[in-house]
Amino acid sequence: MQRNGHRSCVLWFTGLSGSGKSTIANLVDQLLFERGAHTYLLDGDNVRHGLCAGPNLLAPVYGSEFAERFGLGFGQQDREENIRRVGAVTELLANAGLICLTAFVSPYRKDRDLVRAWVERQNGPGTFLEVFVNTPLEVCMKRDPKGLYQQAIEGKIKNFTGISDPYEAPDSPELELRTAECSAEQCASQVLSYLTVQGILP
């Protein structure tokens, strides 16, 4: 679909915590803005406070029963529902003609494939672009600005991807970015080049 001077699509950044997903997605979003593209970026910061809020945020407003039923934690089923909800939003944004960027660990291949199928069924082939931010676990653990990996190792955080929960890497992503070898700025440029070659951007 072309409504805003460019084709719409979903750029789905996936990778371990600390891999650089959000940093690169934000850089790409800024570069697209500078080119006049219409975009929207979804990540844990703007989703986990509303659409996919946890029970602790919902309970004070809606009560504990509602919070337990609709609030999302970080277990496998909660992660699946989180990605399902985000996927539904990305489809709507792409259908409105935007370039939608997401930055989520999204650890399960099945969940990402389901989003791809839904987005492409509604918007056409090639509108879901999986971007694998491929950063070795040891590099992510060294970065770890919030100390999450250490807390997971100590058992203070349960269901943490890469430590106590698995991460299923994409089989054939449209793009693979290796942040241990390239800067975030170089990775963002790779994404822009890909969008241009694919005809998403004029």
134, 169 Cβ separation under 8 angstroms: yes
Q: Which CATH architecture has domain 9-196?
A: 3-Layer(aba) Sandwich (3.40)
pLDDT mean by block of 10 residues, the chain; 202 residues:
79 96 97 95 90 94 95 89 95 95 96 96 94 96 88 89 93 96 97 95 90
Known catalytic membership, residue 106? yes
* pLDDT value of position 4: 67
Q: How far apart are CA 39 and CA 103, in angstroms?
A: 14
Q: How far apart are CA 94 and CA 8, in angstroms?
A: 5
Catalytic residue among 19, 64, 106, 172: 106
* pLDDT value of position 1: 53
8, 97 Cβ separation under 8 angstroms: yes
Residue showing tokens 């070898």:
181
How far separated are the first and last CA of the chain, in Å rounded? 13
Residue showing tokens 């099945």:
110
* pLDDT value of position 144: 85
pTM of model > 0.75: yes
* pLDDT value of position 57: 94
Q: How far apart are CA 77 and CA 140, in angstroms?
A: 25
